[in-house]
Amino acid sequence: MTAAPTEYSPRVSRGAYLRLGRELMGLAWKRVPGRVVLVFGLQAVQVGLTAAIALGMRSTVNDAIQGRAHSALVAGVVVALACTSSMFCTSLVGGSTLYAVEKTALLDLMPQVHRDIATLEGIEHLERTDVLDRLTVVRTGMWMLMFGLFSAVRVFFTVLQLGVTLLLLGSIDPWLMSLLVFAGVPLWWERLGKRGVIRAETDTAEQVRLQRHLFEVATTAGSGKEIRVAGSGTEIARLQRAAFDEAVEGRYRALVRASVLKLAGWILFTLGFAGSLWLIVYRAAHGHGSIGDIVLSITVATTLRTALQGTVSESSGAAQAGRVIAPYLWLRAYVAEERARVQGTAMPPETLSEGLVFEDVTYVYPGTDRKAVDGLNLTIPPGSVVAIVGEYGSGKTTLVKLLEKFYRPTSGRILVDGTDLAALDTDAWRARSAAAFQDFGRFKTVFSHNVGFGDLPRLEDRAAVQAAVADANAQELVRRLPQGLDTELGTETGGVDLSEGQWQKAALARASMRTSPLLFVLDEPTASLDAPSEQEIFERYMVRARSLSRRTGAITIIVSHRFSTVAGADLILVLADGKLVETGRHDQLVDLPGGRYADLYGLQAAAYSAS
Ligand SMILES: Nc1ncnc2c1ncn2[C@@H]1O[C@H](COP(=O)(O)OP(=O)(O)OP(=O)(O)O)[C@@H](O)[C@H]1O
Atom 7 of ligand 1: nearest residue by CA position: 365
Atom 5 of ligand 1: nearest residue by CA position: 365
Least confident of 149-158, 318-327, 422-431, 545-554: 318-327
313 contacts: CB under 8 Å, gap ≥ 6: none
**Quick check: 265 and 189 in contact, CB under 8 A?**
yes
Higher pLDDT, 254 or 526: 254
Is the minimum distance from the CB of 390 to ligand 1 under 6 angstroms?
yes
309-330 burial by CB neighbour count: b if 16+ within 10 A, else e?
A: ebbbebbbbbbbbbbbbbbbbb
Least confident of 69-83, 186-200, 277-291: 277-291
Return the ligand 1 atom nearest residue 399 CA.
Answer: 18
pLDDT at 8 over 60: yes
CA of 365 to the centre of ligand 1 (A): 9
CA distance 165 to 279: 17
Q: Taking Cα atoms as reference points, which of 446, 196, 182, 468 lies closest to residue 316?
A: 196
Q: Taking Cα atoms as reference points, which of 180, 157, 156, 154 lies closest to residue 167?
A: 180
Is the minimum distance from the CB of 127 to ligand 1 under 6 angstroms?
yes
Return the ligand 1 atom nearest residue 124 CA.
Answer: 1
Least confident of 123-132, 262-271, 387-396: 123-132
CA of 512 to the centre of ligand 1 (A): 25
CA distance 538 to 531: 11
Q: Taking Cα atoms as reference points, which of 128, 584, 124, 574 lies closest to residue 363?
A: 124
CA of 322 to the centre of ligand 1 (A): 37
**pLDDT at 504 (0 to 100):** 85
Classify the complex by whether its ipTM is higher than 0.90, answering yes or no.
yes
CA distance 430 to 436: 13
Atom 25 of ligand 1: nearest residue by CA position: 392
Atom 14 of ligand 1: nearest residue by CA position: 395
What residue type is assigned to position 34 of the chain? G
288 contacts: CB under 8 Å, gap ≥ 6: none
Kindly state the greatest CA–CA separation across the chain.
Answer: 120
Atom 31 of ligand 1: nearest residue by CA position: 393
Q: What percent of the chain has pLDDT over 70?
A: 96
Q: Is 375 left (phi over 0), alpha (psi -120 to 50) or beta?
A: left
Mutate to test the pocket of ligand 1, among 126, 129, 131, 396 (most ligand atoms within 8 A of CB): 396
**pLDDT at 2 (0 to 100):** 43
Return the ligand 1 atom nearest residue 400 CA.
Answer: 18
User: Concatenated DSSP letters for 281-347?
Assistant: HHHHHTT-S-HHHHHHHHHHHHHHHHHHHHHHHHHHHHHHHHHHHHHHHHHHHHHHHHHHH----BP
**pLDDT at 3 (0 to 100):** 44
Is the minimum distance from the CB of 397 to ligand 1 under 6 angstroms?
yes
45-65 burial by CB neighbour count: b if 16+ within 10 A, else e?
A: ebbebbbbbbbbbbbbbbbbe
CA distance 310 to 313: 5
3-class secondary structure, 424: strand
β-pairing verdict for 519-523 and 433-436: parallel
Query: Tens digit of pLDDT for each residue in 208-242?
Result: 888 888 888 878 776 777 777 777 778 888 888 88
Atom 29 of ligand 1: nearest residue by CA position: 393
Q: What percent of the chain has pLDDT over 90?
A: 30
Return the ligand 1 atom nearest residue 438 CA.
Answer: 27
Return the ligand 1 atom nearest residue 127 CA.
Answer: 1
CA of 117 to the centre of ligand 1 (A): 23
Atom 23 of ligand 1: nearest residue by CA position: 393
Atom 6 of ligand 1: nearest residue by CA position: 365
Is the minimum distance from the CB of 289 to ligand 1 under 6 angstroms?
no
Is the minimum distance from the CB of 560 to ligand 1 under 6 angstroms?
no
β-pairing verdict for 419-420 and 433-436: unpaired
CA distance 141 to 110: 10
Exposed (0-12), middle (13-18) or buried (19+): which is 479, by Cβ within 10 Å?
Answer: exposed
Atom 20 of ligand 1: nearest residue by CA position: 393
Residues shown for the chain? 611
3-class secondary structure, 387: strand
Return the ligand 1 atom nearest residue 394 CA.
Answer: 21
Is the minimum distance from the CB of 365 to ligand 1 under 6 angstroms?
yes
**Superfamily of structural domain 343-432+517-611:** P-loop containing nucleotide triphosphate hydrolases (3.40.50.300)
**pLDDT at 144 (0 to 100):** 84
**pLDDT at 135 (0 to 100):** 86
Is the minimum distance from the CB of 393 to ligand 1 under 6 angstroms?
yes
Q: HEC states along 47-86? A: HHHHHHHHHHHHHHHHHHHCCCHHHHHHHHHHHHHHHHHH
CA of 373 to the centre of ligand 1 (A): 9
Return the ligand 1 atom nearest residue 367 CA.
Answer: 4
* Residue 373, H or E segment: strand 371-380
198 contacts: CB under 8 Å, gap ≥ 6: 10, 319, 320, 322, 323
CA distance 466 to 451: 9
CATH of domain 14-341: 1.20.1560.10
CA distance 538 to 529: 11
Return the ligand 1 atom nearest residue 559 CA.
Answer: 22
CA of 397 to the centre of ligand 1 (A): 7
Q: Taking Cα atoms as reference points, which of 523, 525, 551 lies closest to residue 473?
A: 525
Helices (H), 342-403: 396-403
**pLDDT at 1 (0 to 100):** 44
CA of 566 to the centre of ligand 1 (A): 21
Is the minimum distance from the CB of 372 to ligand 1 under 6 angstroms?
yes
Domain boundaries, the chain: 14-341, 343-432+517-611, 442-515
